[in-house]
Amino acid sequence: MMLQVDIQAQLGALKLDVQMDVPAGVTVLFGPSGAGKTTVINAIAGLFRPDSGQIKLGDEVLFDGRKNVPPHHRQMGYVFQDARLFPHCTVRQNLTYGGSHDFDQIVDVLGLGGLLSRRPAGLSGGEKQRVALGRALMSNPKVLLMDEPLAALDGPRKSEVLPFIAEIAATRNLPVIYVTHAMAEVTQLADQLVLVDNGKVAHKGPVIDVLADPIAAKYFAKRDAGALIECVVERHDIDEGITVLASGAGPILLPGQVGRVGVGLRLLIPAQDVMLSKTALQGQSALNMIEAVIDDIKLLPNGNLAVILQAKELPIWAELTPLSVRKLGFEAGQNVFAIFKATAVGPV
């Protein structure tokens, strides 16, 4: 079922004007704090009334300027940043407050079996968010809204909850809107990526396409800008201490033992860590060298140049200074080698 959002609202100095279609799968709303992301999902949940516009779920109009379906009739599962569990209820009572659809299965998947008789105050941050996720799912929502559900958690707790979210998103055929400004969550979860800046949608599309476009790079931290590629773990070489991945551009090597053989994973190739050479380089340490053709060269907002490459089936891009590009005479159509260290890329 498709969720269609087209809303306008004046929020103090910020003018919110967002249009987006949300299909089944995970749509990540990404952008700086104060960009209006949370307001968008609050409007979808019915917790915020926009000034004008329309929100439709399938054929059902939820908001159109006059009509405004109240939150309790919208069937939107909402996982808040601060969990918002009912402090006076046990975990079991929290979970079943909005219904108990797939109770056993959800308790099992989220590992909540041991917590059912506890109260929220006795739970860790990660446990609270798992309960909040389970509670939203058991209400049998038509859409799942998540507002930075991992932001309040520390690193290890994040990696405790993230796989659960990924699994639920993958196994349930419903639109999931996930608000974050953490790149790792974008690369692990997103099917669609919507970049929100200053109340407007700056870019939207399949995550791989958006990240392959250097123009979207300014919305990410410098270390995070770069192409996202999908690989499959081919083998582990324990003696050499590497993992070999199969990708559309040939094998890619990673340090250490990553994933299980046969498992798909996404790899972010930071544009600042990709080096280009006209010839196949010998006698250097970087393990990954893939042949590619220069597709285009674009100017980045910071004055550097984005050299966009087609490496067999994969689009990747490198950030170079104008000086490098001029000295080596790079231009569209040229064959080059893209070189990056195994340690520069990692499963995100």
Residues that bind another protein (CB under 8 A): 45-47, 70-78, 80, 82, 84-88, 97-99, 119, 121-122, 135-136, 139
Q: Which is nearer to another protein, 60 or 331 (CB)?
A: 60
Q: How far is the CB of 88 from another protein (least distance, A)?
A: 4
Are the beta carbons of 301 and 307 closer than 8 angstroms?
no
Nearest approach, Cβ of 220 to another protein (angstroms)?
A: 30
Match 């891009």 to its residue by tokens. 317
Query: Residue 3: what are its φ and ψ, rounded to 5°?
Result: -100, 125
| 38 vs 288 by CB, closer to another protein | 38
Name the residue nearer to another protein (CB basis): 20 or 132: 132
Q: Count H helices and E strands in the chain, helices first.
A: 8, 20
**Residue 249 tokens, joined:** 């551009």
Rounded Cα gap, residues 216 and 308, in angstroms: 13
Indicate the residue among 132 and 231 with the shorter CB distance to another protein.
132
Closest distance of CB 72 from another protein, Å: 5
- State the nearest-atom distance from the C-beta of 123 to another protein, in Å: 11
Tell the smallest beta-carbon distance from residue 48 to another protein (Å): 10
Residue 336 beta carbon to another protein: minimum distance, rounded to whole angstroms: 52
Q: Which is nearer to another protein, 101 or 327 (CB)?
A: 101
**Comparison of 81 and 187: residue with beta carbon closer to another protein:** 81
At residue 233, φ and ψ (nearest 5 deg) are: -70, 125
Written as one string, the DSSP assignment of 228-269 is: EEEEEEEEEETTTTEEEEEETTEEEEEES--S-TT-EEEEEE
Query: Which CB, 74 or 157, lies closer to another protein?
Result: 74
Check: CB of residue 336 under 8 Å from CB of residue 330.
yes
Taking the complex as a whole, the smallest distance from the CB of residue 174 to another protein amounts, in Å, to: 15
Residues in the chain: 348
Nearer to another protein, 75 or 334 (CB): 75
Contact 27, 176 (CB under 8 A): yes
Distances (CA, A) of 309 to 44, 69, 178, 226, 230: 39, 48, 30, 12, 16
Angle (CA) 15 177 76, round 5°: 100
149-182 per-residue burial string, b: 16 or more CB within 10 A, e: under 16: bbebbeeebbebbbebbeebbeeeebbbbbbbbb
Least separation in angstroms between residue 208's CB and another protein is: 31
Residue 331 Rama label (left phi>0; alpha psi -120 to 50; beta): beta
